[in-house]
């Protein structure tokens, strides 16, 4: 009965480097979401995938951020040319379908030096 | 511009007493609300939700109240237990959840 898993759990990188964050959703969940939580803030929606539909990218903060979801399962969030303000916890969630309860992974804590 | 606000960053309550966590929202079009609980180093866990057609939803020790005219919701935990100590987030939305900044609840034994 695996939940949502994310890797790595922690990532330290230097400003200007690219990073990839991975999310494995719950098996059978068609919807997948990425959020981030900066220090002292609430969770901020980034991007949403639903089946084979085009993703809702309306929350991505800049064009340095991108995400893909291969085969309707695993998703990768990529941040290019990282900046210090990208430091945050990046959380992935999945749900059976849109408007169903979202189940979150433990997050990836990203620190950009 | 925060659309979902939790104005109390922290709350301490004695074990066995009631915990009341508050949340305000600005958009009267919001019609679905949720509460999540988060322990350190874990992802948020769904706790309870309420639709705008209701003003109360109860699940065991947890009750959420919605006051649409005041754009306010609250989560009541009765009786509070030390294991309830966590950060509680309220959120609104159908799939793109908008979260508040959270309230850290500490239940004192």
The phi and psi torsions of B83 (rounded to 5 degrees) equal: -70, -10
Instruction: For residues B10-30, give the mean pLDDT.
Output: 96
Q: pLDDT tens digits, residue range A36-68? A: 999 888 899 999 999 888 999 999 999 999 999
Residue A22 has pLDDT above 90, yes or no: yes
Residue A70, beta-bridge partner list:
none
Q: Which residue has the tokens 């754009």?
A: B71
Residue A1 has pLDDT above 70, yes or no: no
Show which residues on chain A lie within 8 Å of chain B, measured between beta carbons: 4, 31, 33, 35, 40-45, 48, 56, 58-59, 91, 93, 95, 98-99, 101-107
**CB nearest A41 (choices: B36, B45, B101):** B101
Structure tokens at A100: 């169903």
- The predicted pLDDT at position A68 comes to 95
């Amino acid at each position: 009965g695996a939940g949502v898993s994310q890797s790595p759990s922690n990532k330290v990188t230097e400003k200007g480097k690219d990073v990839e964050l991975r999310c494995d959703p719950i098996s059978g969940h068609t919807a997948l979401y990425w959020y981030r939580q900066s220090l002292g803030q609430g969770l901020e929606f980034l991007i949403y995938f639903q089946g084979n539909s085009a993703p809702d990218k309306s929350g991505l903060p800049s064009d340095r951020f991108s995400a893909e979801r291969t085969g309707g399962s695993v998703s990768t969030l990529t941040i290019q040319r990282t900046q210090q303000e990208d430091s945050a916890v990046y959380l992935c969630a999945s749900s059976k379908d849109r408007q169903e309860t979202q189940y979150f992974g433990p997050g990836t804590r990203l620190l950009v030096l | 511009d925060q659309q979902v606000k939790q104005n109390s960053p922290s709350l301490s309550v004695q074990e066995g007493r009631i915990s009341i966590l508050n949340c305000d929202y600005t958009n009267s079009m919001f019609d679905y609300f949720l509460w999540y609980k988060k322990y350190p180093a874990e992802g948020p866990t769904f706790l309870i939700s309420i639709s705008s057609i209701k003003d109360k939803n109860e699940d065991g020790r947890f009750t959420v109240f919605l006051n649409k005219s005041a754009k306010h919701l609250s989560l009541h935990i009765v009786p509070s237990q030390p294991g309830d100590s966590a950060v509680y987030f309220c959120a609104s939305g159908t799939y793109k959840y908008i979260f508040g900044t959270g309230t850290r609840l500490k239940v004192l034994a």
